[in-house]
Structure formats: structure tokens, C-alpha cells
Amino acid sequence: MQVIILGSGSPLPDPARAGPSTLVRTAVGDLLFDCGRAVLMRCAAVGSGAGAIRGLYLTHLHSDHITDLNDIFTMRWVMSLVPNPLPVFGPIGTAALVQATEAMLEPDIGYRLAHHDDLQWRPAATVTEADGGVIFDEGSVRVTAAPTDHAPVRPTLGFRVDDGDRSVVIAGDTVPCAGLDELCAGADMLVYTVVRRDLIEQVGLPRLTDVLDYHSSVPDAARTAQRHGVPTLVLTHLVPAPAPGTEQEWFDQATAHFTGDVVLATDLLTLDVTPPRRR
């Protein structure tokens, strides 16, 4: 199993960081977690694409995590030679989001149906809304969801992918919570959204400091990984994006609370999820 950070950025546009998105390569194909801006451009860089996605998993419906849903929905349709509905998994509200996306695209759908004689079906998605539990189970691969805490954004989910004896948790945007603890127990890798509390507090703007109450700090993520003995912690969705030369500050904040391997995400970073190596 491989984890590919397609987008390590945040709502703030960054020329080097696409929007939040993580690809997990498993024995049954590519699973995509969130779909921030430029996700299909990053997929193209690693030999994937809308048609290859076995499932799109949404942690929550904040705009930066769903910006390019319309692109995936459209490209899967127009680049498939037969009907190929997009499997989408997410919290309650996901079905309404997909329906609204299709409605927004209605003019484009009409144009393409009128122009391409061999395109004789509409785009489609199969939506599974969940609040927890196993939501995908095929072959050696199982995806489990659990509720997280990103209030006032509700509901939100974290996900765990198990592929044989390997496992990775995609935390999404959350503060430490029981649902995340449930997913992390015995996991090999934790991909976790983090913010730098110290830097944001220095700026002092209310609209920035507001994010501190519903995102995890670097120490929060580190303590969660340490508590469950997770060997590898991947810090992503970095707010603010690390300025060149400051990367060590992020490592230092994590390693003060965590004795495993810390990885600072960049776009297209590819990590092998190795068999269990417990601390």
C-alpha cells in the first residue's frame, strides 16, 4: 500500500501546494480522500485519474476539501467509454452535495450530450453516507469511518484504510477526539491536518485565529500518534505553509511529543506503508 499526498495545501492559494487530497494505492485500486483544487492535475502526475478512482472519500464538506468534485464528476463521465458511476463516500449531506454539483453542471452536460453521438448516458455517482463503521470491504482492503470533531462543521469523518496487515488513517480536519482515537489504534501511519498555533497567534487576525479552535496543532497531532504507538506521522494541510528554511520548526514541535517518524508533507510525496513496526 502507498500513500501519495496529492495536495498538501489549505484554503490559502499556494503555487506549490494543491488543495487537500490524499491518494491511497491499495490492492483493489486507487482510493481518493478529499478533492481540493488541482486534484486531477496531481493525479495525472502519478498515473491516476478520475476513471481510475475506486472510491472518493470526503472527510467533510468544507469548500477547500471539495473544490474539484465537479472536475472529477465531469472527467470520469466524459473519459469513460461505458457508464462508470463515481462511488462517493462521505458524511450526511454528501448526497445533496453531489446532486447540487450535477445541477450546477447541467448546461455543460447538455452541451456534451448534444455534441458527442457516442456519449449516450448522463454522469452519475453512487453515494454512501455514513456516520461510522466499515463502509468498504473488498478483497484484502477495508475502509472504516469514524466521527471526528471539526465543530461547527458537522458531521465530519476520519477514515482508516486496512490492506492486509498494513493500515493508514486519514484524519481530515479535526481536533483530538474519541473517533480519531478509535481509528488510530494499531495503525501504521497517520495523515493529519495541522496548524501552527504559535504563528497564527502572532498574526492575530480574528479570521485566522478562529481556525485554532477546530484544527489540531502540531503537538496535538504528535500526542495522538504517540498515544497509539503509530510509527509514522504525516503532517499535511499545513497552515501556514512552511516558509523555506523553517521546516525544522515543525519537526521540533512534533518530536517534542512523538518518538516515531515525522514527515512534513509536500505535493506528490509518495510513502510506502510498511508492515507493522511497533514502538
Give me the active site residues, please. Answer: 64
What's the Cα-to-Cα distance from 188 to each of 120, 176, 195, rounded to whole Å? 45, 18, 22
Q: DSSP string of 86-105? A: EEEEESTTHHHHHHHHHHHT
φ/ψ region of 35 (left if φ > 0, alpha if ψ in -120 to 50, else beta) reads beta
Strand partners, 86: 125
CA atoms within a 13 Å half-sphere pointing along the CA-CB vector of 223: 8
3-state class percentages of the chain: helix first, strand second, coil last, to nearest 5? 30, 30, 40
Q: 118, 163, 127, 125: which is closest to 144 by C-alpha? A: 163
What's the start-to-end Cα distance of the chain, in Å? 21
Q: 13, 2, 3, 7: which is closest to 35 by C-alpha? A: 7
CB atoms within 10 A of CB 224: 25
Amino acid at 2: Q
Amino acid at 153: V
Q: What is the helix (H) or strand (E) element at residue 191, kind and residue range?
A: strand 189-195
CA atoms within a 13 Å half-sphere pointing along the CA-CB vector of 49: 10
